[in-house]
Amino acid sequence: MSYFRTALLLAALTALFLVIGFLLGGEAGMLIALVFACGTNLFAYWNSDRMVLSMYGAREVDARTAPAYYGIVSQLADRAGLPMPKVYIIENDQPNAFATGRNPENAAVAATTGLLRDLSHEEIAGVMAHELSHVRNRDTLIMTVTATIAGAISMLATFALFFGGNRNNPLGLIGTILLMVLAPVAAALVQMAISRTREYSADAGGAEICGHPLWLASALEKLEAGSRRIDNRVAESNPATAHMFIVNPLHGGAVDGLFSTHPATANRVRRLREMAGVAGPWG
């Protein structure tokens, strides 16, 4: 069901791009924006993993330098049928984690020192299973395609702003101006909806990989409390990377609203408790 919903959202985003492309820039403007957006996102697809790991000052570890953490990832990767990803630690007190890499053969997982300090062995396993589920589901590819289309829409709006757009479109001047403003917002909303859908899917996949939904549920509750209490200064300075983390690293991002890249943690915990057959305070 999550893949079906993702496909529908991608189709809606593509349709939005085609309609806006013609109305704002005509056929020529649409093609120019698409080529530019594809080029930008192709570069990001091949280099974003190194860029984001460097941005957060992540250091690679192995079985010698972080035996417990590395061992958890190794066991889970084997259970998931995945190649062993590179393993990183980020020096940050906020408990959080993310996965990156263009495919399972070039994947990396990263956890903060706050996560490794504050969570139990079982909870760390739940979090890492979630991240490996992202790798197995190729969510990086899905989000890259989404970013390509959303980026093309934004480029079309910029094209229309500076060059006047398609003067023969049926919307008129006022309609064109409104479309220039609202089109990138609509694209961003669809992009966020896809991101939230993939988080729910990764929760379910992570619970399956580690075999214990309540491990991840307990971890999410702790991560949510930690992200509210502790700043992640790098993430605050680079909010475009917030969707990568298992919980929103930005303050005020816990509400499951239109502009959130993550589902509400309470909703995620409820679903995991239902998977485990346990009634929770939100059930």
List residues with catalytic annotation.
Answer: 131
- Tell me which amino acid residue 122 is: E
Strands 97-100 and 86-90: unpaired
Distance (Å, rounded) from C-alpha 246 to C-alpha 57? 18
Nearest Cα neighbor of 199 from 54, 48, 5, 32 is 5
Q: What is the DSSP letter of 85?
A: P
Burial class (CB in 10 A: 0-12, 13-18, 19+), 162: exposed
Q: What strands, in cross-sheet order, belong to the sheet with 86-90?
A: 59-61, 86-90, 108-112, 97-100
CB 268 within 8 A of CB 200: yes
Distance (Å, rounded) from C-alpha 139 to C-alpha 152? 20
